[in-house]
């Protein structure tokens, strides 16, 4: 009976076990495959991964904070994993570990239409931002990146081949009007905002700039709307919730492991029934 899991730290609030178990049930595989959450501290990650194949695991999703280390320890990273520098889907077989990054196709699948030819702004420069910037560029968008710490913006931009938003623009609010797609790949919004406007200020985003020409993807979600989502909606922008990206990346992982088509609607129902969050 092949086992699957999500490995993170902390991981107790992950929505993946409920979502993937619902999918396996709907696919008629619940008697065959299992999916659980395993909390692993960073200094135990490599050792734990090494033991999983003997424990009957066929593969795992890797989440915060292990995605970059996952890339470093695997035998066969995909081209996308190499380019992004982070992995979230590992498969065990023949004594080797293969790695994919389904955050990238998950983001593209969650968009209402192809980003080809669109101008996209990615906020952030961590693992999530690297996957988002790479995915959008690979799908044909023109991608700019902004991050609070500019050094990391430059590193991401040169590693992935996208454009940094220059620091002289950082004292002013970001000109959202220059872009058609905005992706929040920072952790801003995970905590409930302090003062009204604090999150928008942290992201240098002008709340008034959003119009019905914009698409906002906020990878952060929780029980209530983030300040960024609220600002975008009130300007008339279309919004993709981080939950949809979670569903699509989870479906892409299940496709890799089971080689079957996952039931996206059942996965959406499973996570919308649960109000907790997962970065």
Positions annotated as catalytic residues are 67
Stretch that binds ligand ATR, among 26-34, 104-112, 113-121, 184-192 (CB under 6 A): 184-192
For 221, the token pair is: 């979600």
Under the criterion CB under 6 A, does residue 124 sit at the interface with ligand ATR? yes
- Sign of the four-CA dihedral 164, 168, 171, 173: negative
Which of residues 5, 22, 108, 125 is near ligand ATR by CB under 6 A?
A: 125
**Total number of residues binding ligand ATR (CB under 6 A)?**
17
The CA distance from 202 to 205, in Å, is 8
Contact between 187 and ligand ATR per CB under 6 A = yes
SS3 of 121, please?
strand
Nearest Cα neighbor of 26 from 269, 274, 277 is: 269
CB atoms within 10 A of CB 90: 27
- CB-nearer residue toward ligand ATR: 52 or 129: 129
Query: In the numeric block, which tokens belong to residue 179?
Result: 């872009």
Contact flags string 26-65 toward ligand ATR, x per CB under 6 A = --------------------------------------x-
Among 83, 97, 108, 129, binds ligand ATR (CB under 6 A): 129
Out of 3, 152, 155, 230, point to the residue binding ligand ATR (CB under 6 A): 152
Residue 101 or 258 having the CB closest to ligand ATR: 101
Residue with tokens 């059942």: 266
Backbone angles phi, psi at 15, to 5 degrees: -90, -10
126 is an interface residue for ligand ATR by CB under 6 A: yes
Question: Can you tell me whether residue 237 is helix, strand or coil?
Answer: coil
Least distance (Å) between residue 5 CB and ligand ATR: 19
Site string for ligand ATR, 2-21 (x = CB under 6 A): --------------------
Q: Choose between 58 and 278: whose C-beta lies nearer to ligand ATR.
A: 278
Tokens 């996208």 locate to 162
**CB–CB of 143/123 below 8 Å?**
no
> What's the distance, Cα to Cα, between the start and end of the chain in Å?
29
- Binding footprint of ligand ATR on the chain (CB under 6 A): 64, 124-129, 147-149, 152, 185-188, 202, 279
């Amino acid at each position: 009976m092949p086992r699957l899991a999500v490995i993170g730290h902390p991981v107790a609030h992950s929505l993946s076990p409920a979502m993937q178990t619902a999918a396996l049930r709907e696919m008629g595989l619940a008697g065959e495959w299992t999916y659980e959450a395993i909390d692993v501290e960073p200094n135990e990650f490599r050792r734990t991964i090494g033991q999983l194949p003997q424990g009957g695991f066929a593969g795992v999703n890797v989440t915060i904070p292990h995605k970059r280390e996952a890339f470093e320890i695997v035998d066969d990273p995909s081209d996308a994993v190499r380019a992004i520098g982070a992995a979230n889907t590992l498969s065990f077989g023949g004594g080797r570990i293969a790695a994919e990054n389904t955050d990238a196709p998950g983001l593209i699948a969650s968009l209402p239409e192809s980003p080809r030819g669109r101008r996209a702004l990615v906020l952030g420069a961590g693992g999530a931002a690297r996957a988002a910037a790479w995915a959008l560029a690979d799908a044909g968008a023109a991608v700019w990146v902004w991050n609070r710490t500019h050094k990391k913006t430059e590193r991401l931009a040169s590693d992935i081949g996208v454009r940094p938003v220059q620091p002289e623009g950082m004292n002013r609010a970001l000109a959202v009007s220059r872009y058609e797609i905005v992706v929040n790949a920072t952790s801003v919004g995970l905590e409930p905002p302090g003062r009204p406007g604090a999150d928008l200020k942290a992201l240098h985003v002008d709340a008034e700039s959003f119009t019905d020409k914009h698409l906002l993807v906020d990878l952060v979600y929780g029980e209530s709307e983030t300040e960024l989502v609220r600002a975008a909606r009130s300007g008339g922008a279309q919004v993709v919730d981080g939950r949809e990206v979670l569903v699509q990346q989870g479906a892409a992982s299940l496709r890799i492991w089971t080689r079957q088509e996952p039931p996206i609607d059942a996965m959406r129902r499973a996570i919308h029934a649960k109000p907790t969050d997962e970065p």
